[in-house]
Chains A and B, each alone.
Chain A
Amino acid sequence: MIWTVMQTSWRRLKNNRSELFLTFIVPIVFFSIFAVIFGSRDSASSTPKIKIAISDTSGAALSERAVKLLEEQKSLRISENGRSNGAIKEGASGASTVSRSAAEDLVRRGMVSAAIVFEKSELADSANGLPKIEIMTDSFDQVASQVLAAIVQKAVMTANGELLKEKSDKFVQANAPTPANASMVKSSLPMNLVRTADFDANAGSSGASSPSLSQPPKIDVVDVIGGKKTNPVVAMYAAGIAVMFLLFSATTASGSLLEERENSTLDRLLCSRLTMDQLLLGKWAYLTVIGSIQMTLMFTWGAIVFGIDLLNHLDGFVALTLVTAGAAASFALMLAALCTSRMQLGWVSTIVILSMSALGGSMVPRYLMSETIQKAGLLTFNAWALDGYNKLFWRELPLADLKLELAVLLGCGFLFIVAARLFAVRWERS
């Protein structure tokens, strides 16, 4: 009996190609997609780099040398943003730095993950020419700030070492009459204990202040965005989860179109005054409204329970939610019009939505992905929606700063609904 049950179940599975595909092929497809998204660390070009801005107003030789070293770091990418509006200035070393306020603005807008600021110190260190070092971070990228602190520390220490070496060379050359003597003097100096003031007095340097470091430099890390937030992670993930579930619910609801086709209701509908244009627009409007309500409920819950600041960003939220829900509705209808049955829609939408969500950052923040995958993520409208919500709730930018995201989502929505209409032509008259 048990054998008969097993045999019958296997035969049923074997006769159902869709189920067979879902059981054995889809897991491999998913594995491959996720392996590509999160596992592509094989080449240097695809390794994620930390995008930063540098502000150096200290005028210290140490910071100038450190900036140069930072620019040579392969794990960093110095932002070119602001070059066009003159915010970036070429330093003496040729390095591109911006003003402190410009650097902070770049962090706030999400153009960079962090900014390194070198300023003249008003404390005792300034007497030794040591600049005040500050890293302005965006805790949206929780990895970058920690990695960057270590990199900056290393750069400053290395720069200090290089400067000390140069000064010691000059000192020795100035005080030793013969090269052999100079070499002997130099080798006898305990470098880590040398006071730079001694060198400064004799080196006759070009006026740049000289640093003094016997211990790792003090680096202030300031979270310029998330610092004041009570629960910064919630704002980040609310959008990701909301957009993913918006897509799932819209796709499920759009399956009614296929159900209507399967049971001849579509024939009956199209024999009435209703046209295919009206049918699709009616379903699109319904899905958009339902999606907007779904997003509103989710963010309202987030505001009440987790402290998301919804009230102060209501205009941006309404605009972004409407275009996101509209784009999701169009996308869902496009998938439905593309498929031939509800079952097919079920597995196609599962694969597509989970892949889009992974790529677009609904599951894992995009900054953790490789450069290539981050760029590929921009092909999904999830990424644009998430960027929009992050700008709104995380960076607290006004509605005017969401123009790009709104335009992209509107464009996506329009393209998807046009595609849905074109696919639906086959249902109008065969």
Chain B
Amino acid sequence: MTLSSISIPQSKPEASAVDTPALAVVDLWKSYGSNQALKGTSFVLNQGERLALLGPNGAGKTTLIRSMCGRVRPDRGQVFLLGKSIRDPDVLLQMGVIPQDLAIYADLTAKQNLECFGQLHGLRSRKLRERVAWALKWIGLEDRAHELTKGFSGGMKRRVNIACGVLHRPRILLLDEPTVGVDPQSRQRIFDMLDELNEEGTSIVLTTHHLDEAETRSDRIVIVDHGKVVAEGTIDHLIESTIGTQRQVTIQASGLLVAAPPGLEWDSEKGRFVCWVDNVADELPGILERIQKVGGVVLDLEVHQPNLHDVFLHLTGKELRE
């Protein structure tokens, strides 16, 4: 399979103007002994797009991410960055990698860390100073620039970790769980920073265990399981193509119900009646009426809108953290 043979999905109207995907993963296979980590994984990231990469533990995400940044040599398949193979030595410089671990030097100051990784990405003299100054401002640590990072809070270390990967203005940013172990305020701050980069044109691939992050902070979602892409698309597309858009209505009722009201099913696990509706406003009054007709009294009612969690559970049979 080649780059030209894979279809390029569109998530943003403006993305259609750009033909070459920012990142294309084409038919990747990788095994470690008898363990087949990747089994023909393929997907693309459009330019300027934010893509969330989801999968349960052991699904092959880490191998996939390491393949994307050239740290794992796949048995088969290729990865293209802006149309060029990542085997091209210069092309990787278009990518910024933010590992899940804090890949910074704890015994250097924030500024020294930024200078180190800036220099390793080819920044020198005035350009380096400008980018370091920008990064310190961007992560809100100007006043603590000369402090050793080992004294920083988890959120501050995460921000320095991210800044070290974007100093050289990469066109594609790969983030492996950038918010793991940080408080909600820091998470918000980190996503604001990423949104800022995205607005400037940086394409982002994000892996996360927070489904709400994936739902709200990405344009498109790729779900990986058993080394393969099991679904991909926008959140609406995923819901529609998997569990459908119908709302689930759960009703707790009391009274002498001799039989289940028409159109409702009894969920013995929940101890409640369940049904699915396309339009809550139109269909709910009829449902309540049917319950009353058979002598039931509605005690509680819950309407559940299908979400990414349902999709994920439907596709993988597992919770995200399993």
Quick one: CB contact mask for B175-201 with A, threshold 8 Å, 1 for yes?
A: 000000000000000000000000000
A215 contacts B by Cβ under 8 Å? no
Question: B72 and A429: CB pair below 8 A?
Answer: yes
B217 contacts A by Cβ under 8 Å? no
- Closest chain-A Cβ to B131's Cβ sits at a distance in Å of 14
- A85-93, A261-269, A287-295 - the one binding chain B: A261-269
CA distance A264 to B104 in the complex (A): 9
Closest A residue to B98 by beta carbon equals A268
Question: B122 and A429: CB pair below 8 A?
Answer: no
Q: B165 is contacted by which of A268, A270, A274, A430 (Cβ under 8 Å)? A: A268
Q: A265-B104, A265-B105 are in contact. Are A271 and B117 (CB under 8 A)?
A: no
Quick one: CB contact mask for A233-267 with B, threshold 8 Å, 1 for yes?
A: 00000000000000000000000000000011101
Quick one: CB contact mask for B92-122 with A, threshold 8 Å, 1 for yes?
A: 1101010111111100000000000100111
Q: Rank and list the top 3 A-B pairs by shortest CB-CB distance, nearest first.
A: A264-B99, A272-B120, A264-B101
A17 contacts B by Cβ under 8 Å? no
Residues in A neighbouring B72, C-beta threshold 8 A? 429-430
6 A–B pairs (Cβ distance < 8 Å), ordered by A: A265-B103, A268-B103, A271-B69, A271-B95, A273-B93, A429-B72
- Closest chain-B Cβ to A177's Cβ sits at a distance in Å of 102
Question: B71 and A430: CB pair below 8 A?
Answer: yes
B164 contacts A by Cβ under 8 Å? yes
Question: B93 and A272: CB pair below 8 A?
Answer: yes
Q: A272 is contacted by which of B71, B99, B104, B117 (Cβ under 8 Å)? A: B117
Closest A residue to B174 by beta carbon equals A271
- Closest chain-B Cβ to A424's Cβ sits at a distance in Å of 14
> Which residues, 200 to 256 on B, are CB-close (under 8 Å) to A?
none
Known: A265-B101, A268-B117. 20 other contacts (CB 8 A): A264-B99, A264-B100, A265-B99, A267-B66, A267-B71, A267-B97, A267-B103, A268-B97, A268-B164, A269-B120, A271-B69, A271-B92, A271-B95, A271-B97, A272-B117, A272-B122, A273-B122, A429-B72, A430-B66, A430-B73
Closest A residue to B102 by beta carbon equals A263
Closest B residue to A260 by beta carbon equals B103
CA distance A274 to B120 in the complex (A): 6
- Closest chain-A Cβ to B155's Cβ sits at a distance in Å of 18
Residues in A neighbouring B92, C-beta threshold 8 A? 271
Residues in B neighbouring A270, C-beta threshold 8 A? 71
Question: A273 and B120: CB pair below 8 A?
Answer: yes
Closest B residue to A256 by beta carbon equals B105
Residues in A neighbouring B73, C-beta threshold 8 A? 429-430
Q: A274-B120, A429-B71 are in contact. Are A268 and B93 (CB under 8 A)?
A: no
CA distance A274 to B105 in the complex (A): 17
Count of chain A residues with a beta carbon within 8 Å of a chain B beta carbon: 13
Closest B residue to A266 by beta carbon equals B103
B70 contacts A by Cβ under 8 Å? yes
Binding site for A on B (CB under 8 A): 66, 69-73, 92-93, 95, 97, 99-105, 117, 120-122, 164-165
Q: B101 is contacted by which of A263, A272, A429 (Cβ under 8 Å)? A: A263
Question: A429 and B93: CB pair below 8 A?
Answer: no
**Best-buried of A264, A268, A269 by chain B (most CB within 10 Å):** A268
Residues in B neighbouring A263, C-beta threshold 8 A? 101-103
Question: B103 and A264: CB pair below 8 A?
Answer: yes
CA distance A162 to B97 in the complex (A): 89
CA distance A134 to B72 in the complex (A): 72
Residues in A neighbouring B121, C-beta threshold 8 A? 272-273
Closest B residue to A270 by beta carbon equals B71
- Closest chain-B Cβ to A393's Cβ sits at a distance in Å of 36
Residues in B neighbouring A265, C-beta threshold 8 A? 99, 101, 103-105
**Best-buried of B71, B73, B105, B165 by chain A (most CB within 10 Å):** B71
Question: A271 and B70: CB pair below 8 A?
Answer: yes
Residues in B neighbouring A264, C-beta threshold 8 A? 99-101, 103
- Closest chain-A Cβ to B161's Cβ sits at a distance in Å of 9
Residues in B neighbouring A430, C-beta threshold 8 A? 66, 71-73
CA distance A265 to B70 in the complex (A): 14
Residues in A neighbouring B70, C-beta threshold 8 A? 271, 429
CA distance A272 to B96 in the complex (A): 9
CA distance A264 to B180 in the complex (A): 15
Closest B residue to A271 by beta carbon equals B97
CA distance A263 to B72 in the complex (A): 17
- Closest chain-A Cβ to B274's Cβ sits at a distance in Å of 45
Quick one: CB contact mask for A42-60 with B, threshold 8 Å, 1 for yes?
A: 0000000000000000000
CA distance A389 to B301 in the complex (A): 89
- Closest chain-A Cβ to B109's Cβ sits at a distance in Å of 16
- Closest chain-A Cβ to B18's Cβ sits at a distance in Å of 24
Residues in A neighbouring B101, C-beta threshold 8 A? 263-265
Closest A residue to B74 by beta carbon equals A429
Q: A271 is contacted by which of B71, B100, B102, B122 (Cβ under 8 Å)? A: B71
Residues in A neighbouring B102, C-beta threshold 8 A? 263
**Best-buried of B69, B70, B97, B103 by chain A (most CB within 10 Å):** B103
Residues in A neighbouring B95, C-beta threshold 8 A? 271
Residues in A neighbouring B105, C-beta threshold 8 A? 265
- Closest chain-B Cβ to A257's Cβ sits at a distance in Å of 13
CA distance A400 to B120 in the complex (A): 41
CA distance A270 to B120 in the complex (A): 9
Q: A267 is contacted by which of B69, B93, B104, B164 (Cβ under 8 Å)? A: B69
Residues in B neighbouring A272, C-beta threshold 8 A? 93, 117, 120-122
Residues in B neighbouring A269, C-beta threshold 8 A? 120
- Closest chain-A Cβ to B115's Cβ sits at a distance in Å of 13
CA distance A264 to B177 in the complex (A): 13
- Closest chain-B Cβ to A89's Cβ sits at a distance in Å of 66
- Closest chain-A Cβ to B270's Cβ sits at a distance in Å of 42
Closest A residue to B164 by beta carbon equals A268
Residues in A neighbouring B103, C-beta threshold 8 A? 263-265, 267-268
- Closest chain-A Cβ to B240's Cβ sits at a distance in Å of 37
